[in-house]
Structure 1
Amino acid sequence: MAKTKAFLQKHRWSLTGALLGALVFLILYGVRVLDPTCVDWILNNPSPDPAQHYLGWVFYRRSGWHLPYLGANYSAIYPYRTSILYTDSIPLLAVLGKLLGGVLPARFQYLGLWGLFCYAMQGGLAQALIARVGGVRPGNTAKNWASVLGAGVLVLFPALNIRMFAHTALAANWLVLLALWLWLCAEQSENRPTAAKLCLWWGILGLLCAGIHLYYLPMVGMVLVAACVQRALEKRGPAAVVLPVASFCGAALAELFVLGAFAANFAGYSNGYLSGADLANLFVPDLGASWEQEIYAGLGTTIAVVLALAGLLVQHKQAGAFFRRHKNVVIAALVLLVLDAIAAMGNTVTFAGRTLFTVPIPQVLMDFWAMFSSCARLAWLAGMLLAVAACGLVLRFWQGAAAAVLLALCAAAQGFGQRAELAKRFAAYHDAAYYENTTQLTDPAWEQLAASGQFTHLAFASFDFEHDEFWDLAAFAADHGWTSNSFYMGHMDGNLAAVTLAGEMNALAPDTLYAFVDEDALARNDFALHYYRLDGVLLGSVEPIDGLTEESADTAPAHTMTLEKSSVINGTADADGVVLSSGGELLTEAWMLFPGNYRVTLTGSGFDHSYIYARHGLINQETYKMGVNFIGIAPDEMVFEFSTGEPLYYWRTAVHALDDTPLTITAIKVEKLG
């Protein structure tokens, strides 16, 4: 009891910061997300990513143990081996949950509690760092309260709020703060840690990064490099510089091996490009070329930086003395910012919305760095370091109550700048409907199928998870302990998966229920299966299914493309169709077509001023324009046919406007003739 009391007393201000973070989380997301048996809110998310994270864990939980790969998952893309790493399911929690699987409820999620933990850690570590930079003593109550207010800037850091329950593992911004704390607080303390302790602590950080999300490895690794630069400047010896790096890298690599990172099928795909950051975007919102490239550090961070600079100018003598005392830390911090800028920009340097130049790099390096192709995320490190440093300097160089008022203003501005996003999240997560079961699979026959024991596997005819039914079917399989042959993985070779899944249809198995989702129904007459339809989903089985009425064969299966999923240039797309203006182009959603004869019918207007063709080809490989035979040519309807003796992967139809005449496409129907 005495030790607990002493601990609470020593860390009371950091714990207060943690309470602030927890309070912000509860205000935004409520308490229902904390119920580990409540999973429907995850599956109801408009983005498929939370469903991937949760269902990846469920499939992994049902998969058997296969040493030495504790993180191997044999159920998500059966019978192939994948890793819990590649579903972004927070591997450390997934492994722990699997070890405790026998005592956990049948439906169990840890994402809600993880979110609360992330916000609490963000607040607690931010307070400790701001107080350290601000030179605050434990007994200085007023300044410690000011440091808690400053922690609000980090609790409301945009990357944390935007990624929470979207890319949930990536919401572990506190890993960066923990690395900064280890460098700026623990290593600078009066009782400087020994070399052995340094290796242990950085090794633990390597384990945490590898076991939570891989993008934190380079971010935390760069903080470690900065710490090593400082140790080198202080001439603390080669061991102090090299051994912590070896510990960090060795621990991370060992864990990745155990988690199956290097032994997973379909992994390691390079998309061949880097999504780099525009560094001006740290202070100017909406400069990111895409959502993945948005690195805005927040209005509160910008104000804190301005106030810190103002304080340094006013207190320039004290500031000069401060920086001279800490010159090695300052030099290391500048090295860190430069490294992070280089890593986050990628090989295309963009500033203030303008591309300045592109640096050609060898393909070998490109393939390696493409593991972190969304490299703009790495700029979160710079944003958090600037926020911590600015809030700390405001605390140090603004006197008395002014510092508290200014940091409160920064925290309020940080929230105000994100008011639309925060309000959207508050509304969604406090809506009772968000927690209801909204699965499309409502027919009681589904549960009869699960209880019959006839099936233990679910197989999709093709690799395509861009369908609403896909996630409902995957959830059904996971909940009932079935395997699935298709699932979405990060860093996944989609080409290999597409080819592999299509080939599996050559060997049909009686214990497998086959799902023909959307366009896959075109191939229903290609396979010797008994066909049934439940809730609009076409299912196939080698053996008849008792209690279900078999669907009669269609002579010419047809399916209409979803035009809203098309890529459109110089035009608009909605539920009513696509309208192309001058120079407009439409490229439909990608389908996988099995061998056969096909007819495509486009309806609309203005087709006599268009150019239409079909194409196919694997991602980032050569695209093949197809030879087609137009059998109907009219301004309001175009019809063409083609044949293929092999599967067509990522097949699309393209429509180009030839002049200024408006071109409208209201429907594109595809029929399989035989």
Structure 2
Amino acid sequence: MTLSERVDTLLGDKKELAKQIALVAAPILIFLWFFHPAVLDPTNVSWLFQKDWGQHVLGWHAFRYGADGFNHQNLLAHPTGLSVIYTDSNPLFALPLKPISPLLPANFQYIGPWFLFCICAHFYLAYKLLQRHAPSFWAALVGAVLLTLVPTLFNRIMHDTLVAQFLILWAFYIYFEITSPRGKAIHWAIMLGITGFIHPYILIMVLALWGAEQLRRVWPQLMAREFIQVARTVGVAILTLLAPIITLGLSGAYAPGQSAGSFGYGFYSMGLDALFNPSRKDFTFGGLVSVPQDGGQSMEGFMYMGAGLLFLIVAAIVLFYRSEGARTIRDTLSKSVWLIGPFVVLFVIALSSKVQFYNIEIFKYETPKALDGVLGIMRASGRMFWPMAYFMVLLAILTVYRTRLKTVAIILPLALVIQVIDIAPFAKSVHSETAMAANRTVYQKVPSKLWDDLITNADLVSFQPANAHINKRLFYELTWRSVSHAVPVNTMYAARPHPRQTQLERIAHANFNEGKLDPDTLYVFFNKCQAPAGAQHRLRELDGLFILPPVKMLDKLPQVPQVPGIEYDEDYNFTWNALGSCFLEDNWLSPDSKGVWSRAGQPAELNLPLADRPRHDISLSLSLLSFLSGNKTKVYVNDRLLTHLDLTTQITDHEIVIPRRWIKGKSLNIRLEPDLEASLKPSPKASASARKLGIRLYDLRLSETKG
């Protein structure tokens, strides 16, 4: 070998090494741009005790310590329990890790490493999709980076299993790049089976692409009347479809009594402006045209592409009409024709029953009742546009590849630069979500070690009311402590609530309010409410929380806290995390993020503890509404009829003067009783569910009148 040949070989080896380094470094750098590296430590769990992450990691933790079946645990939402798929705990990891759980550290999580895996798999599949078509390695590399820097991918980090959007790229890879029928069938079976372990929403998306593949094969056979081939193709398709059916079953999707559907279809939709309206300001260019979207659209309907990808798509369209080379993309378009039908279906589902553009409702329609169950499974319907978004980017990149090298060298880097500049503030926001991984303190809300004694001496930890959303960090920390000792908890935030468990929680809360308490249960108050009748002697305080310890542990906490009374001229609202929820007595439903509903046609009571007895008459201010026009409601104070209120379908403020002589002791009992003899007509704008509700209470205020 001559010297020149040796130099060429050496340079070639270095170039090949540089390519390999670039392929490894690119996804890692993308990961570090969006995530704090401390999340990769599997023993670091504290950062997960927020938002949906706590649900997912607790589901795994409970399955690890309290499995009562192959895929089920009963430590959370006791006694019914939940399957790992209904706590979104990634059965792909939870099921194989369960048998080796005794070998793992006491605190163990796989969500952080999962994020790195998803980003690397996403980048790798993007590169494999583009590699054969790219005019050079670097063009393929830049294209893969662009196909990875789709904001939708990182906007879902709070729902970690939905970061598995590499599965969509895998489906496109099977559709476009694998030519052997046998190879396709094997790939589809493996990919669909894995998706069944990860998340049903992504499974619906990739099944749409799988359906396009089946159409592409079966239709020509039908046209040629090759019915034996049709039977074989359909048979192979059915066998392929068995894979996700089996893995969903292994994940616990078919648990007895569990519903896969829920409310929300039509609320969590996608607006027609979603591709170019980020509905948030943390984008350099996108923030300039950002307009808040309606309700659930801002999260589930988020589909902003980023200025760089929008530029790339527009550039590809222009090139298609102006460049002969770009028009050769028609061969790919001809292969894509079978995707049109599934894409239309996904698009209609994503828009749902309420079609909007920049918060302007274009039209709305009622979905058939017969479809409620099916549509309830896809309640977060806005997500269904993801495959189309990725296809648009993929097609744009492939179109640019068909042009001159000079054009490729200008368009792709320019698109990347614009995209990076645009999403840089967004990347910073996303990174901040995992920044608390630097603080490894597990118990920040409940640091006292006395909790361990209380929990181990209890048969059950009962949160009252049973609503984890009131204070997620508190719930997650204390539940982690409980599950670590294999002590069950009475509730859980689930992906799909179990109807039987929901009913049991309502019954348990009613028993709690009536003072029917278990001596061996540790009751934890989300708000500093008065203890139920007959249990005041059991009320204690630990780490600022009101609790009723197990009776045998009462001497561990001798201090009885002072329950706060209502202060005059203070506003008290009735959201789930506000003190007003402590005043709710009979016939109220669970408070939500705005207020609380009473049960239709039932008298609803409030018990208002006073900080001190008034010196004058009291003015009581209430904010109320009703979906029943002409709702005349009687107001009783300490069982005495005081006045009538005329409620409307709009929020109205009502002032009621309560004579001082009516007030005995330091409490006020307020009863709102609908006049059933009144002629009530539902508002035409009222939904079917709203018509079953009574009075909506938002807030109240007590003020002393001037004597």
Same fold (TM over 0.5): yes
CA contact (8 A) 2:541 2:561 kept: no
Determine the structure 2 residue equivalent to 1:422: 427
Q: Specify the alignment match of 1:599 in structure 2.
A: 608
Partner of 2:127: 127
Tell me which residue corresponds to 1:85.
85
Number of equivalences:
597
Find the residue that maps to 1:628 and give its secondary structure. Answer: strand
Task: Tell me the amino acid that sits aligned with residue 445 of structure 2.
Answer: Q
Of residues 450, 463, 468, the one that matches 1:465 is: 468
Choose from 156, 159, 165 the match for 1:163: 156
Instruction: Work out whether 1:146 is the aligned partner of 2:139.
Output: yes
Change (3 A) 1:467 1:439: farther
For 2:181, the aligned partner's letter is P
CA contact (8 A) 1:630 1:638 kept: no
For each residue in 1:518-577, what CA deviation from the matched residue of structure 2 results, as whole angstroms up to 9, or x when unmatched?
A: 16x33433559733211122222452316513454979977998659589xxxxxxxxxx
Structure 1 window deviating more from structure 2 (268-277 vs 86-95): it is: 268-277
* Alpha-carbon spacing, 1:365–1:292, altered in 2? closer, same or farther (3 Å): same
CA distance in 1: counterparts of 2:443 and 2:694, whole angstroms: 30
Which residue of the partner structure matches residue 628 of structure 1? 635
Alignment counterpart, residue 193 of structure 1, candidates 175, 181, 184: 181
Deviation of 1:262 after TM superposition, in Å, equals 2.2
1:412 and 2:417 aligned: yes
CA distance in 1, matches of 2:116, 2:694: 41
Does residue 1:246 correspond to 2:249, yes or no?
no
Q: Which amino acid aligns with 1:516?
A: F
- Other structure's SS at 2:303 match: coil
Contact kept in structure 1, 2:270 and 2:350, CA below 8 Å? yes
Q: Is the 8 A contact 1:19 1:120 kept in 2?
A: no
Question: 274, 296, 300: which one pairs with 2:304?
Answer: 296
* Residue 524 of structure 2 corresponds to residue 515 of structure 1: yes
8 Å contact 1:16–1:124 — kept in the other structure?
no
C-alpha distance in 2 between matches for 1:442 and 1:667: 36
TM (norm. structure 1) is 0.78
Distance 1:609 1:538 in 2: 28
Q: CA deviation at 1:291?
A: 2.1
Q: Aligned AA for 1:41?
A: W
Correspondence for 1:583: none
Match of 1:176 among 159, 163, 168: 168
Q: Using the aligned pairs only, state the percent identity.
A: 22
The equivalent of 1:40 in structure 2 is 46
Query: Unpaired segments of 5 or more residues in structure 2?
Result: 1-14, 280-290, 578-591, 612-617, 644-652, 659-667, 674-692
Aligned to 2:320: 312
Q: Which residue of 2 aligns with 1:393?
A: 399
Structure 1 window deviating more from structure 2 (242-251 vs 115-124): it is: 242-251
| Higher Rg of the two aligned structures | 2
The one-letter amino acid of 2:212's match is: A
C-alpha contact (below 8 Å) 2:26/2:145 kept by paired residues = yes
* Matching of residue 502 in structure 1 with residue 546 in structure 2: no
> What's 1:229 paired with?
215
Instruction: Give 3-state SS (helix, strand or coil) of 1:100's partner.
Output: helix
Q: CA deviation at 1:413?
A: 2.3
After TM superposition, the structure 1 = structure 2 runs for residues 211-230 of structure 1, keeping only pairs within 5 Å, are 211-230=197-216
* Aligned pairs (5 A) from 1:264-663: 267-268=259-260, 270-271=262-263, 273-274=265-266, 275-286=268-279, 288-289=293-294, 290-316=298-324, 318-323=325-330, 325-326=331-332, 328-397=334-403, 399-427=404-432, 429-430=434-435, 434-437=439-442, 439-450=444-455, 453-468=456-471, 469-492=474-497, 496=503, 498-502=505-509, 505=512, 508-518=517-527, 521-527=529-535, 530-545=538-553, 547-552=555-560, 563=573, 588-590=594-596, 598-599=607-608, 612-613=623-624, 627-629=634-636, 641-642=669-670, 653-654=697-698
Asked if structure 1 preserves the Cα contact closer than 8 Å seen for 2:276 and 2:306, the reply is yes
Distance in 2 (CA, whole Å) between partners of 1:471 and 1:265 is: 26
Letter of the 1:169 partner, please give it: T
CA contact (8 A) 1:276 1:344 kept: yes
| Comparing 225-234 and 202-211, the one that deviates more | 225-234
Q: 1:549 to 1:358 in 2, by over 3 A?
A: closer
TM-score normalised by length of structure 2: 0.74
Question: What is the root-mean-square deviation of aligned Cα atoms in Å?
Answer: 4.2
In structure 2, distance between residues paired with 1:32 and 1:296: 28
Which position in structure 2 is the counterpart of 1:76?
A: 76
Are residues 391 and 504 of structure 1, via their aligned partners in 2, closer, same or farther at CA, if it must alter by over 3 Å? farther
The letter of the residue matching 1:410 is A
Listed one character per residue, the Cα deviations across residues 400-436 of structure 1 (whole Å, up to 9, x for unaligned) are: 1431442222223223222222112335545675444
The 2-side partners of 1:253 and 1:487 are apart by 26
- Letter of the 2:323 counterpart: Q
1:207 pairs with 2:197: no
Cα shift at 1:250: 2.3
Paired residue for 2:32, among 22, 26, 31? 26
Can you list the C-alpha shifts for 1:613-632, whole angstroms capped at 9, x where unaligned? 488x9xxx9xx997533589
Aligned to 2:582: none
- State the Cα distance separating 1:346 from its structure 2 match: 1.4
Aligned residue type for 1:54: V
Instruction: Tell me: CA distance 1:13–1:169, structure 2 relative to 1, closer, same or farther (3 Å).
Output: farther
What one-letter code is carried by the residue in structure 2 that aligns with 1:386?
M
Tell me, in whole angstroms, the C-alpha distance in 2 between the residues paired with 1:625 and 1:34. Answer: 60
Report deviation, 1:258: 2.8
Unaligned 5+ segments in structure 1 are 1-8, 568-585, 656-664, 670-674
CA distance in 1, matches of 2:55, 2:482: 13
User: What SS does the corresponding residue of 2:697 show, helix, strand or coil?
Assistant: strand
- What CA distance in whole angstroms lies between the structure 2 residues aligned with 1:228 and 1:547? 69
**More divergent stretch after superposition (148-157 vs 472-481):** 472-481
Distance 1:445 1:422, change over 3 A: same
Q: 1:58 aligns with which of 57, 61, 67?
A: 61
Q: What amino acid does structure 1 have at the position aligned with 2:368? A: P
Q: Which residue of 2 aligns with 1:116?
A: 116
In the aligned structure 1, how far is the partner of 2:369 from the partner of 2:605? 38
Q: Is the 8 A contact 1:460 1:516 kept in 2?
A: yes
Could you say if the C-alpha distance between residues 436 and 442 of structure 1 is closer, same or farther in structure 2, counting changes exceeding 3 Å?
closer
| Partner amino acid, structure 1, of 2:188 | W
Partners of 2:655 and 2:671 lie apart in 1 by 24
Question: Equivalent residue of 1:250, what SS?
Answer: helix
| TM-superposition CA deviations, 1:218-265 (whole Å, max 9, x none) | 110111122122223553842465345424432222222232222255
Deviation (angstroms), 1:145: 1.2
Q: What secondary structure does 1:93 align onto?
A: helix
Output the amino acid matched with 2:336. V
Q: Secondary structure at the match of 1:302?
A: helix
Question: What's the offset of the Cα at 1:271?
Answer: 1.2
Distance 1:321 1:440, change over 3 A: closer
Offset, 1:71: 1.6
Give the distance between the partners of 1:374 and 1:368, measured in 2 at CA: 12
Secondary structure of residue in 1 paired with 2:305:
coil
Residues 620 and 655 in structure 2, CA contact (< 8 A), matched pair in contact too: no
Cα pair distance change 1:613/1:440, threshold 3 Å: same
Q: Residues 477 and 280 from structure 1, CA distance in 2 versus in 1: closer, same or farther, beyond 3 angstroms?
A: same
Q: CA deviation at 1:111?
A: 0.5
Alpha carbons 1:597, 1:643 under 8 Å: kept:
yes
- Give the Å deviation of 1:101: 0.5
1:162-201 CA distances to partner (integer Å, 9 max, x unpaired)? 111x1111111111111111111113xxxx232xx43332
